[in-house]
Amino acid sequence: MQPSISCTSDLAPPPPATRAGPTPRVVQLPLGGAGSFFTREQLTQAFQCSHAELGRLLRDKIAPLPIRIDGTIYWFTDEVDAAITRVEKVLERRRR
């Protein structure tokens, strides 16, 4: 007999932020299950940039692209964590 798997009870806790940054939100997905996401405000804290700089990063496709869930825009935490070093290098180069 196989154990039953429930999407909401078997979720791993959200991964910790790579630094003293924002805590991800757990959002229920429309097709079931849940995921850890950042909002725009949390993304600017994670990348340590302004909203204008974040807009330029998104325009140039350097930052990960968002998804929309129930009218709210979110970013996957794993994609943000993977992009932090790349974004920091770009921001450092642009600020010189």
Instruction: State the architecture of 25-95 in CATH terms.
Output: Orthogonal Bundle (1.10)
Q: How many CB atoms lie within 10 A of CB 43?
A: 26
| Residue for token pair 């992009």 | 83
Give the total residue count for the chain: 96
pLDDT given for residue 9 in this prediction: 43
Whether 60 contacts 53, CB under 8 Å: no
On the question of pLDDT at 89 being above 80, the answer is yes
pLDDT digits (tens, 9 = 90+) for 25-75: 999 999 999 999 999 999 999 999 999 999 999 999 999 999 999 999 999
| Token digits of residue 10 | 């078997």
